[in-house]
Amino acid sequence: MTRLVLVHGRDLDGHDPEEVERDWLGALDAGLAAAGSPLRVGDDDTDFVYYGDTLAHLLEGRDGPAPPVLAEAVGAETAPSSDAVAHALADWPAGAQRFALEVARDVLAGAGVEPPPAPETTARSQGLLDPLFEALAAAVALLDRIPGVSAGVLLLIARDVWGYLHEDDVRAVVDEGVVEALPDAPSVVVAHSLGSIITWSALTGRYAAGRGREVPLLVTMGCPLPVRAVREALQADGPLVFPTGVRRWVNVRDRLDLVGLRDITPESFPLPAGSPAVENLVVDNRAPGNHAASALLEDGTYTGYLATAPAAAAIAGALGRQA
């Protein structure tokens, strides 16, 4: 039987396993119902690949061995305020600040907003702010002017992506753990946000070689892979390639989701000639910020990418029952 594998986004370390299982599968049930599919997926049919505690432990340099990547459910994402993130920016490493600024500038340009100029130097001038920090703070202010946008979420994703991409030991541990957590059975893999980058890296890297993982469908949601700074960081490690074992790749985004602002195309994410084309679905993600995989509204209904009919229909079809 084809299994459903869910790979979460950022900031899920230390959360309640039961809560997110309920949220993600509840949102998917809502999407399946909207698509007219009789399919309902239970937790017995699902593996939730959880790397949150592993990534947080490694990036924060905590003592002791890192907890393993698990195939189980975890708790819901939280969205920090942009003010909280702005106060934390000064403590980020210069490399993380620079990467976040490049992500923010690319996102602003894609949204039709003139980005702040890149700083000419990162050296502090007497009596002045660090030019890099000043440019990043200006980018935060511009992002906050875009209705419905969470600058906090975008920049925290950028920081975590930077840490994952630039710490080779961190990336190796997480990638190997994700590959090991994938079941031997054919799997529909659904990855959100930072999880999209980790899933692509895990399925294309050395830990996937020879594992024979069969993925009839890969679904990426709110995917940052086409963001220029992310793409260039990945290309620095070698050519971009189509994920190993994947037969079909569907990328789902909302036009207002600045993390998943662009379709995955030969221009935005160039794959080798002859690679299967990535299918892009533009949906209406009604979650606050237009980015969450799942969100429970005050009226008790679910929204988010998993609750959209096009995404759920693609998942249902790959699991063996057409919507």
pLDDT digits (tens, 9 = 90+) for 92-116: 778 888 888 888 888 888 888 888 8
Residue 322: pLDDT band (50, 70, 90) is very low
CB atoms near residue 168 (< 10 Å) = 9
Q: Is the pLDDT of residue 120 over 70?
A: no
At which residue do the structure tokens 């963001």 appear? Answer: 227
Q: Which residue has the higher pLDDT, 231 or 150?
A: 231
Percent of the chain with pLDDT over 70: 77
Residue 81: pLDDT band (50, 70, 90) is low
**Which pLDDT score, from 0 to 100, does residue 77 have?**
43
Give mean pLDDT, residues 51-76.
Answer: 55
Q: Which residue has the higher pLDDT, 86 or 36?
A: 36
The structure's pTM equals 0.84
56-92: b (≥16 Cβ within 10 Å) or e: bbbbeeeeeebbebbbebbbbbebeebeebbeebeeb
**Which pLDDT score, from 0 to 100, does residue 307 have?**
97
**Which pLDDT score, from 0 to 100, does residue 285 have?**
95
Q: Is the pLDDT of residue 292 over 80?
A: yes
DSSP 138: H
Give mean pLDDT, residues 306-313.
Answer: 97
How many residues in the chain?
Answer: 323
Residue 76: pLDDT band (50, 70, 90) is very low
